[in-house]
């Protein structure tokens, strides 16, 4: 999608710190980290968010979670991390390209704000 910042990162049209990529997914460092480890796991396919996914995305969604677990292990936070997606403005979504935040490296509070 032409004006999507994450599509531009995936296409390497703007710089980012990519830590993992495969044919379906890319993981890169969040530019405004909220924890010592803060990665974003995104599909190459542009889809606006979790609620925009359809039955055809079921395998992709599973893959993104497998990628998250793998990059968590590579980042050294496998013993404790949080994987979260914000869906909709009221939940804090600011980029309309499906992404999972992977947060780790510090104690995480519950419930989140
Ligand atoms: P959300 O608010 O859940 O939609 O998350 C969007 C995330 O994207 C935020 O945590 C931002 O800090 C992050 N972000 C925005 N632009 C960039 C960028 N160019 N590179 C890396 N992370 C970004």
Is-above-0.85 flag for pTM? yes
CA angle 14, 10, 48 (to 5 degrees): 110
36-47 b/e with 16+ CB inside 10 Å = b? ebbbbbbbeebb
**Catalytically active residues, by annotation:** 99
Which long-range contacts does 27-32 make (Cβ < 8 Å, 24+ apart)? 27/67, 27/68, 27/71, 27/102, 30/101
Structure tokens at 112: 């989140």
Neighbours of 91 (CB within 10 A): 11
pLDDT in tens, 83-111: 999 999 999 999 999 999 999 999 999 99
What spacing in Å lies between the alpha carbon of 41 and ligand 1's midpoint?
11
What is d(CA 99, CA 108) in angstroms, rounded to the nearest whole number? 19
Number of C-alpha atoms within 13 angstroms, CB side, residue 70?
14
pLDDT in tens, 48-88: 999 999 999 999 999 999 999 999 999 999 999 999 999 99
Average pLDDT over residues 24-49: 98
Number of C-alpha atoms within 13 angstroms, CB side, residue 95?
20
Atom of ligand 1 nearest to the CA of 32: 12
Cβ(19) – ligand 1 distance below 6 Å: no
H or E segment and range at residue 61: helix 58-75
Cβ(32) – ligand 1 distance below 6 Å: yes
What spacing in Å lies between the alpha carbon of 76 and ligand 1's midpoint?
22
Q: Which domains does the chain have, with CATH numbers?
A: 5-104 (3.30.428.10)
Atom of ligand 1 nearest to the CA of 94: 4
């Amino acid at each position: 999608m032409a004006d999507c910042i994450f599509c531009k990162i995936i296409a390497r049209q703007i710089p980012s710190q990519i830590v993992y990529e495969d044919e379906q997914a890319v993981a890169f460092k969040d530019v405004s980290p909220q924890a010592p480890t803060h990665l974003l796991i995104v599909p190459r396919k542009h889809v606006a968010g979790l609620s925009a996914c359809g039955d055809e995305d079921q395998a992709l969604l599973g893959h993104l979670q497998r990628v998250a677990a793998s990059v968590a292990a590579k980042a050294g936070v496998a013993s404790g991390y949080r994987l979260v997606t914000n869906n909709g403005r009221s939940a804090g979504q600011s980029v309309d390209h499906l992404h999972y935040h992977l947060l780790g490296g510090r104690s995480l509070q519950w419930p989140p704000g």
